[in-house]
Amino acid sequence: MPRLKAVFSRKRDKERGAAGVLVAAMMLVLIGAGALAVDTGQIYAERAQLQNAADAGAMAAAQQCHKAGTCTVTQAKLWAEELSGPNSNDGATTVDSVDLSVPKQVTVVTSTRSGSNGFLTKLFANALNAPPVTVRAAATASMSPPGAGSGFPLAISNHCYNLSGAVATGQVQKISYKPGGTCTGPSGTQIPGGWGWLDQDSPCVAETQTGSNQMGSDPGNNPPSGCSTILTGWKTTIEAGGAVKVTFPIFDDATNQGQNGSFHIIGYATFKIWGWKFGNKHEYEFRNTKDDPGMTADLACNAGNDRCVIGQFVKFESIDSLGDSSGSDFGTDEIKLVK
């Protein structure tokens, strides 16, 4: 019996040893799995931050490149760096590269910045002697003319006025409607007045789309109804030293007149407004005579039934959705992420 007890005792000792090895092996597997899960989550979180930084950097660079008219890779990278860091939670972001090879697009690539290197040190996998990793993200922003929009219900002819000087120092001009006046479109069509009021979809707002004929409530002379609040706001902003920039739909052809008139919309241009005369009372006229601040005799609106708006066409960047990108380019572009 003592000999049998000794045999069983040795067997139990061996089983305990085997169980200990199995538990140790399982602990290593569990630690490895936990390290992988935690570090994978860390990498995904870091990549999300880098994507935010890349998105912000691409949008910033695209806006500034459009505003400047042209830009170099060095300039675009500096503009991207200004917003990429602040748009990641830890601010530890490097702009690796900026690509301008595709016209009217800016692609920004960001990566992790950790100390003096570009590696992300993993929290637990180091215990398994796993190397650090580099995490990157990329974003592309495009600059394209809008194909649709909504706003102040006035359309302007591209053949009657100079729309090409869309820069901050561009020509200050008087966009005027003169009863009986015309200008000639590319097909020889006589376009009455040079501008036209559009049918309103809501008070003082017309929705437009390029390639379509928008019905005009009047080909030019009568002021729009329901615009008192908007015009008062323009006046208040200008008197306070601010800038009023209004995006107008541009037409290249007009048919008929009055309630049956229509305008073929081809794009959008932004006008920095100095003054206007849409009527003969109150907020419907503002800074339109030669004695008003900044005005000259050449810019002043004529008396009587003549109507005008005074200012300059400027470059303008919108980050709001203005529809598809099918319009002609008159200096107003929609900046948006495309990938």
pLDDT for 62-99, tens place per residue? 999 988 888 999 999 999 998 887 777 666 678 999 99
Q: What is the pLDDT of residue 237?
A: 97
Candidates 275, 185, 271; CA nearest to 237 is 275
| C-alpha distance from residue 76 to each of 61, 62, 80, 103, 331 (Å) | 5, 8, 6, 14, 19
Q: What is the pLDDT of residue 100?
A: 95
For 213-257, what is each residue's pLDDT tens digit?
Answer: 665 655 556 667 789 999 999 999 999 999 999 999 988 877 766
pLDDT band at 43 (very low <50, low <70, confident <90, very high): low
Higher per-residue pLDDT: 116 or 138: 138
Cα separation of 134 and 89, whole Å? 18
Q: What is the pLDDT of residue 107?
A: 96
Run of H or E residues at 49? helix 2-68
For 140-168, what is each residue's pLDDT tens digit?
Answer: 999 888 888 889 998 888 877 766 655 55
Mean pLDDT of the chain: 77
Q: Region 9-14: what's the mean pLDDT?
A: 52
DSSP β-ladder status, 154-157 and 244-255: parallel
Cα separation of 75 and 72, whole Å? 5
Cβ–Cβ < 8 Å for 166, 270: yes
Q: What is the pLDDT of residue 4?
A: 45
Cα 70 to chain centroid distance, Å, stands at 17
Q: Read out DSSP for 54-103?
A: HHHHHHHHHHHHHHHS---HHHHHHHHHHHHTTTSTT--EEEEEEE--ST
What amino acid is encoded at 321 in this protein? Answer: S
Tokens standing for residue 281: 């009372």
The length of the chain in residues reads 339
Q: What is the pLDDT of residue 303?
A: 80
3-state SS assignment for residue 284: helix
Which one-letter DSSP state was computed for residue 123?
S
Q: What is the pLDDT of residue 61?
A: 94
Cα 313 to chain centroid distance, Å, stands at 19
Torsion, Cα 270 271 273 276, to 10 degrees, reads: -120
pLDDT band at 170 (very low <50, low <70, confident <90, very high): low
Tokens standing for residue 325: 């990108």
Q: What is the pLDDT of residue 91?
A: 66
pLDDT band at 116 (very low <50, low <70, confident <90, very high): very low
Domain extents for the chain?
A: 17-144, 148-331
Give Cβ neighbours of residue 93 (< 8 Å, ≥ 6 apart): 49, 50, 53, 84, 85, 110, 111, 112, 113
Q: What is the pLDDT of residue 93?
A: 79
For 245-298, what is each residue's pLDDT tens digit?
Answer: 999 998 887 776 656 667 888 899 999 999 999 887 788 999 999 899 888 888
Q: What is the pTM of this model?
A: 0.72
Least confident range from 106-110, 163-167, 186-190, 315-319: namely 186-190
What amino acid is encoded at 238 in this protein? Answer: I
Cα separation of 312 and 212, whole Å? 26
Q: What is the pLDDT of residue 194?
A: 72
Report whether pLDDT(200) > 90.
no
